[in-house]
Amino acid sequence: MARKTNLKKVSAEKQRTKRGRVPAKPAAKAGTAAARQKAGTAGKAAKRWTAAEVEEAFTRFARAHPAPRGELAHVNAFTLLVAVVLSAQATDAGVNKATPALFAAADTPEKMAALGEEKIRDYIKTIGLYRGKAKNVAALSRILVEQHGGEVPRERAALEALPGVGRKTANVVLNIAFGEPTMAVDTHIFRIGNRTGLAPGRNPLEVEMNLVKVIPAKFMLHAHHWLILHGRYICVARGPKCGRCLINEQCHWPEKTPPEFPLGERIATSASVMRREG
């Protein structure tokens, strides 16, 4: 009986493959070997940093780019919130191509709610998962009008209660719109925290909590911008540019390569990248 059941499963799978619908593999869970491989954090674990190393690393980031900015285009707290919601599983560059026309038509919760889900969808069709995102943007706009007087709330709980808004999105909005010293952990920061030994964690929340513990308060306002830009352009998932890394000396990644340039040149290179992109 078991053999017949297995044969049926194999036959069904063959039929799906013939029709071009190969069953999708389950996503790797955070903290698993597959997830670490995808994030660029596989291999021997790096040892933790000392307080002096953390201080020096962020002093270098501050020298390279004293006042970094987020890469998502926006004109106010509401459009920032919408842009961050749209950026889930999408690139900032892709979102920035779609939002100028959307924000020209609706840059307040009232205007966005009046625009409606269908028209929002038309503006963001080039962004991945646009149908669900259009539904969330329309819904959160209505909630802001009905429950918050048309204003973006400054409280984390109120933000996370909005459709399409999770902890990372709330952290970005709190940091950029309201100047709160939050740490929004994306795939780049998750990779840096684990690869370098700065703040290892099995999931984004653990990395966030560990970063908040080790980064001095004076650096926290800009810390997540520095780390995102560093991970996006220097400490990349594949083929990290260790030779150009301004925090090479502090990094504890066992597989890192030595610096190729003096510190001053590496800071200048990072400054150029950060100012161009952030």
Q: Can 133 be counted among the known catalytic residues?
A: no
Rg of the chain on CA atoms, in Å: 22
DSSP 65: -
For 26, list phi and psi in degrees, rounded to 5.
-65, 145
Q: Count CB atoms within 10 A of the CB of residue 67.
A: 10
DSSP 19: T
Query: Environment class of residue 10 by beta-carbon count within 10 Å: exposed (0-12), middle (13-18) or buried (19+)?
Result: exposed
Question: Distance of CA 27 to CAs 22, 58, 235, 266, Å?
Answer: 15, 34, 24, 37
DSSP 112: H
Query: Environment class of residue 249 by beta-carbon count within 10 Å: exposed (0-12), middle (13-18) or buried (19+)?
Result: middle
Residue with tokens 């749209």: 86
Token output for 208: 């966030």
Out of 168, 213, 218, 241, the active site residue is 168
Q: Count CB atoms within 10 A of the CB of residue 55.
A: 17
Question: Distance of CA 194 to CAs 40, 53, 207, 230, 268, Å?
Answer: 9, 16, 8, 14, 26
Q: Can 14 be counted among the known catalytic residues?
A: no
Out of 186, 213, 241, 256, the active site residue is 186
Give the residue numbers annotated as catalytic, written as ranges: 168, 186
